[in-house]
Amino acid sequence: MKKNFSWAVRVYFEDTDVGGVVYYANYLKYLERARSEWLRALGFDQGRLMAETGLGFAVRSIAAEYLKPARLDDELRVASRIESHGRVQVVFDQRIERGDETLLTAKVRIACMYLSRGKAAPMPQDIYEQFEQLT
């Protein structure tokens, strides 16, 4: 099983500010999409998870270091790995890269939640076991 995940993204005009540089909040969208695509690649459908169990994943905290700017038309790669996990939360180590350059590093703590109550919940056993294999 692949312990790291990589997802490609291109910078579009809508992602940039007036200077053609990616607006800082859009990097967070790239990180989110990469995590979602990783779950999808592992065979987990978040929409179905929510509909069938009422569970979902939410960002609890993020620490990001913006190192270099991405610009219009750049082809980026979001590299992700699981740093640690427990029954309720998982910490992702993510990077946004352009070629050999690292543009952003981030530690993202995700919690599994009962969405209707906004309370922490143990993640489903099958997802937990997948994360166990990836740590």
Residue 85, phi then psi, degrees to nearest 5: -160, 160
pLDDT of residue 2: 60
pLDDT of residue 89: 95
Which tens digits make up the pLDDT trace of 7-48?
A: 999 999 999 999 999 999 999 999 999 999 998 998 888 888
In 31-66, which positions are buried (b, 16+ CB within 10 angstroms) versus exposed (e)?
bbebbebbbeebebeeeebeeeeebbbeeeeeebee
What domains sit in the chain, N to C, each tagged with a CATH number?
Answer: 4-134 (3.10.129.10)
**Could you give the dihedral angle defined by the CA atoms of residues 67, 68, 73 and 75, in that order, rounded to the nearest 10 degrees?**
-50
- 43's CB contacts (< 8 A; 6+ apart) are none
Helices 24-41 and 46-53 pack at an angle, to 10 degrees, of 80
List the catalytic residue out of 17, 45, 73, 126: 17
pTM of the model: 0.90
Q: Does residue 17 carry a catalytic annotation?
A: yes
At 59-102, the pLDDT tens digits run 999 999 999 999 999 999 999 999 999 999 999 999 999 999 99
Higher pLDDT, 130 or 80: 80
pLDDT band at 1 (very low <50, low <70, confident <90, very high): very low
- Between residues 82 and 133, the one the model is more confident about: 82
Sequence-distant (≥ 6) Cβ neighbours of residue 120 within 8 angstroms: 88, 89, 111, 112, 113, 114
